Chains A and B, each alone.
Chain A
Amino acid sequence: MKLLNKINRTYLLSSLIVVIPGLVIAYFLIIFISSEETSEILHGNEQRVVQQIGRQQSIPDFYPLIDVQKVERAHPFEMKDTVIYNPVSRENEAFKEYTTYRIIGTQTYRITVRTPVIEKNDVVASLFLGTALLFLVILTVLYLINKNINHSIWLPFYSNLKAIKSFSLQSSEKLALQQTDISEFNDLNTQVIKLTNKVISDYNSLKEFTENAAHELQTPLSVVQAKVEFLFNQDTLTRKEMAALEIIMDNLQRLRRLNQSLLLLTKIENAQFDQRIPVFFNDFIGGILDSMKEMFEMKNINISLRQEGKFTTSMDLQLARQLISNLTSNILRHTPENGTAQIRIENDKITFSNSGTKPLNPDRIFKRFYKEGQTSTSTGLGLSIVQTICLQNNLSIRYHFSENDHYFVVSKEES
C-alpha cells in the first residue's frame, strides 16, 4: 500500500468514527427542534381560530388541519401525535394534534388544530444520504489531490528511487539524487549518498587489495620456489632431505594454484571481466578438449563431443573458456579409469556427463573448498568458479545423477 493511501485510509476511518455519533446527535436535535417548531405553529393557529370565531361568529373548517366542534363542557387541553388517512394521497400521514376547549360567548368549542410532522424515517434517510454524498465528494477531492501530489511532491522521490535502483558499483558513476523542499526526503538523500560513497570506497579498496594481494603473494612464492629449486640441484642431498623438499614443492604448488584460483574468483565476483562479446562455444570446446585429449587417453576415458546445436551467449571470452575448461577438468578428475564421458552441445544448453558410482551432494559441490573424497591435490574452487561465472552471465549450472552418470548442465537462464 502506498504511503499516501495509508494516510488517507486512516483519515477516512477516523472521520467515520466521529461522524456516526454526530449523526445520532443530529437526528435527535432535528427531531427536538422540529417538534418545538410544530408546537409553536399549533399554538399560533389555535389563537387565530379563536380570534376568527370571536370576530365573525363563523366556525372555520379545514379538515384535518382545523377542526372545531361545539361541545357541552370543557376538558383540559391535549397535545398528541396521531395518524390520519389522507384521501388525496391515499396514505396515512403523521400529524401533531393540539386540542383545546374554549368558551366563546356562551358556547363551548372544542378546537383541534393539526399540522403534518416530519417522518422520522425520512430524517434518518436524508441524514445518511447527505453524509454519504459528503464522503463521496471528499473521496473524489482526495483522489484528485493525490494524483496531483504524486506528480509534484512525490516525483523527486520516485526519480531518486529509480536512480538508486539502477546504481551499480561497477560503473564509475556516482549516485546523483534530486533535492526537494521536503526535509524527510532530503535527509534520506543525504544518508543514501553517504552510504553509497562508503560502499564505493570500500569496494575500491577491496579491488585494490585483490590486486595487491596478487603481487604481494606471488612474489614471495616465486622466491621460495626459486630457492627450493636451487636446493634440488645440490649434489649433497640425502634421500630424506630430497623427500622433504619434494613435499615443500608440492605444497608450494598447491598454495600457488589456490592463490590463483581465489584471485580469479574475486576478479569474477568484482566483474573485472567485462569484455562482453557474442561467444560461440562450438568454436573452442573442441580445442580445449584436444588439449586435454592425452590425459583422457591415459586414464582410458572414452570422451565424445556431440554438437547437436549451436550454443551462443554474450560474455567475456576468457571466462567462457575458463568455464568450459573447469568443467572438462572436473570430468577428467572424477571419471574412473576406463570410464566414459560426453560433452553435448545443444542450442540452449551444454551438458557434461561422465560415469560415476554414487551421486554427489548438489547443495555442497559448488561451495568453496568442498572436496569430494580424497583428491587432496584439487583446490576445491573449480566448481565455485564455474558457478560464479554462470551467475554473472545469466547462465545456470545444475547437477543431477541418473543411471550411474553425473550430469552438469549449463543452460541459458530464462529472463
Chain B
Amino acid sequence: MKILIVEDEQDLLESMTHFLQNEGFVCEKAFNYFTAEEKLVSFDYDALILDIGLPDGNGLDLLDQLKQSGKNTGILIVSAKNSLDDKIKGLDLGADDYISKPFHLSELNSRVRAVLRRRKFEGTNNIIFEEIEINTEQRTVSVNESLLVLTPKEFDLLLFFVTNKNRVLNRQSIAEHLWGDYMDTADHFDFVYTHINNLRKKLREASAGDYIQTIYGIGYKLSQP
C-alpha cells in the first residue's frame, strides 16, 4: 500500500510517516502544494492524506485535479479549522473521509484503513486476526467460524483494536473513536472500561484468546501472541 502524506508541519509529517510506515505502508511525503501536485501527477497512490491548509495553495484544488485525472485514490482530508464548510466541500470533491486536528495517530490509521477498504477491496471486507474474523461491510464478527453478537460500540471497539494491533491505545483515543466529540464529559474512562470489559467477556465466552492487555495508567493493547 502506497500513501502520499501532504502536511506542511514537518514534525507532524514525520510522526505520521513514521507511524504509518510501522503499520506496513509505503509512505511518501510532501510538505507543500507544489511538491504534492508534482507527485500526484507522476505517481499513483492508494491513499492520499491531505492537509488542506497549505502555505502555497488550497488542498481542495488538489482534490479537484485528482478527481479529474480519474485515478482511484482513497482520500482522507486533514483540517485544522474543524469547519463544516471545509468538510462538506471536501466530501463533495470526492474525499472519502475527514479528520480534524489534533487527531490520534491510531485514529488516523483506523480511518486510512477504512478508506482503503472502501476503495480497493470490494468483496474482501474480511479482516482476520487469529481466530477472529471481522466483516466490515456487514459489521459481523465470527470466532472460529461461529457468529459472535456484539453491540455496535463493541464492534467498533474490536475493529479499532484489530486495525491498531500491537499498539498501545490510550483511553482518550478509544473514547473519541467511539463517541466522537460528544465525549466532552467527565466519566468517559468508565465508559471505555465498561465496554472493554464487556467485549473481553464476550470474546472469552466465544472461546477466543484474551488478546486485550491492560496497560496500567494508559490504556489497552491488542497483542498478537
Task: Tell me if A151 is interfacial: C-beta within 8 Å of chain B.
Answer: no
Chain A, 216-239, contact with B by CB distance < 8 Å: what is the 0/1 string?
Answer: 001101111111011011000001
Given the known inter-chain contacts A215-B53, A219-B80, please indicate yes or no for A233 contacting B172, CB distance below 8 A: no
Inter-chain contacts of A378 with B (CB < 8 A): 184-186
B218 near A329: Cβ-Cβ < 8 Å = no
B190 to A, closest residue via Cβ: A298
A291 near B186: Cβ-Cβ < 8 Å = no
Whole-angstrom CA separation of A227 from B14 in the bound complex? 10
CB under 8 Å from chain A, chain B span 151-184: 153, 167-168, 170, 172-173, 179, 181-182, 184
B186 near A377: Cβ-Cβ < 8 Å = yes
Whole-angstrom CA separation of A242 from B219 in the bound complex? 10
A295 near B167: Cβ-Cβ < 8 Å = no
Task: Tell me if A382 is interfacial: C-beta within 8 Å of chain B.
Answer: yes
Chain A, 283-295, contact with B by CB distance < 8 Å: what is the 0/1 string?
Answer: 0000000011011
B153 near A214: Cβ-Cβ < 8 Å = no
Task: Tell me if B105 is interfacial: C-beta within 8 Å of chain A.
Answer: yes
Task: Tell me if A186 is interfacial: C-beta within 8 Å of chain B.
Answer: no
Task: Tell me if B81 is interfacial: C-beta within 8 Å of chain A.
Answer: yes
B170 near A299: Cβ-Cβ < 8 Å = no
A253 near B172: Cβ-Cβ < 8 Å = yes
Inter-chain contacts of B15 with A (CB < 8 A): 223, 226-227, 230
Task: Tell me if A325 is interfacial: C-beta within 8 Å of chain B.
Answer: yes
Partner of B182, one of A223, A230, A253, A292: A292
A221 near B182: Cβ-Cβ < 8 Å = no
Interface size on B, residues (CB 8 A): 41
A-B pair number, CB within 8 angstroms: 113
B80 near A229: Cβ-Cβ < 8 Å = no
Tell me the smallest distance from the CB of B93 to a CB of chain A, in Å.
20
Task: Tell me if B194 is interfacial: C-beta within 8 Å of chain A.
Answer: yes
Tell me the smallest distance from the CB of A384 to a CB of chain B, in Å.
13
Tell me the smallest distance from the CB of B215 to a CB of chain A, in Å.
7
Whole-angstrom CA separation of A208 from B181 in the bound complex? 25
Chain B, 186-225, contact with A by CB distance < 8 Å: what is the 0/1 string?
Answer: 1110110010000000000000000000011111000000
Chain A, 321-347, contact with B by CB distance < 8 Å: what is the 0/1 string?
Answer: 000010001001100000000000000
Name which of A79-87, A140-148, A256-264 contacts chain B. A256-264
Name which of B28-36, B59-67, B96-104, B137-145 contacts chain A. B96-104
A379 near B184: Cβ-Cβ < 8 Å = yes
Task: Tell me if A413 is interfacial: C-beta within 8 Å of chain B.
Answer: no
Inter-chain contacts of A233 with B (CB < 8 A): 167-168
Report which residue of A219, A263, A329, A377 has the largest number of chain B beta carbons within 10 angstroms of its beta carbon.
A219
Whole-angstrom CA separation of A325 from B180 in the bound complex? 12
B16 near A226: Cβ-Cβ < 8 Å = yes
Tell me the smallest distance from the CB of A77 to a CB of chain B, in Å.
114
Whole-angstrom CA separation of A260 from B104 in the bound complex? 16
Given the known inter-chain contacts A219-B12, A230-B19, A243-B217, please indicate yes or no for A249 contacting B170, CB distance below 8 A: yes
Task: Tell me if B1 is interfacial: C-beta within 8 Å of chain A.
Answer: no
Whole-angstrom CA separation of A318 from B84 in the bound complex? 9
Task: Tell me if A246 is interfacial: C-beta within 8 Å of chain B.
Answer: yes
A246 near B12: Cβ-Cβ < 8 Å = no
Chain A, 247-258, contact with B by CB distance < 8 Å: what is the 0/1 string?
Answer: 001101100110
B80 near A325: Cβ-Cβ < 8 Å = no
Given the known inter-chain contacts A218-B80, A230-B19, A292-B182, please indicate yes or no for A249 contacting B172, CB distance below 8 A: yes
A295 near B185: Cβ-Cβ < 8 Å = yes
Inter-chain contacts of A298 with B (CB < 8 A): 187, 190-191, 194
CB under 8 Å from chain A, chain B span 43-99: 53, 80-82, 84
Whole-angstrom CA separation of A406 from B194 in the bound complex? 28
B22 to A, closest residue via Cβ: A233
Inter-chain contacts of B18 with A (CB < 8 A): 230
B217 near A214: Cβ-Cβ < 8 Å = no
Partner of B105, one of A229, A256, A325: A229
A225 near B102: Cβ-Cβ < 8 Å = yes
Rank and list the top 3 A-B pairs by shortest CB-CB distance, nearest first: A226-B15, A222-B102, A218-B80
Question: Contact residues of A with B, CB < 8 Å?
Answer: 211, 214-215, 218-219, 221-227, 229-230, 232-233, 239, 242-243, 245-246, 249-250, 252-253, 256-257, 260-261, 263, 291-292, 294-295, 298-299, 318, 325, 329, 332-333, 375, 377-379, 382
16 intermolecular pairs with C-beta atoms under 8 Å apart: A214-B80, A218-B102, A221-B102, A223-B15, A225-B102, A225-B104, A226-B105, A227-B15, A229-B19, A229-B170, A229-B173, A232-B218, A233-B167, A239-B217, A333-B187, A378-B184
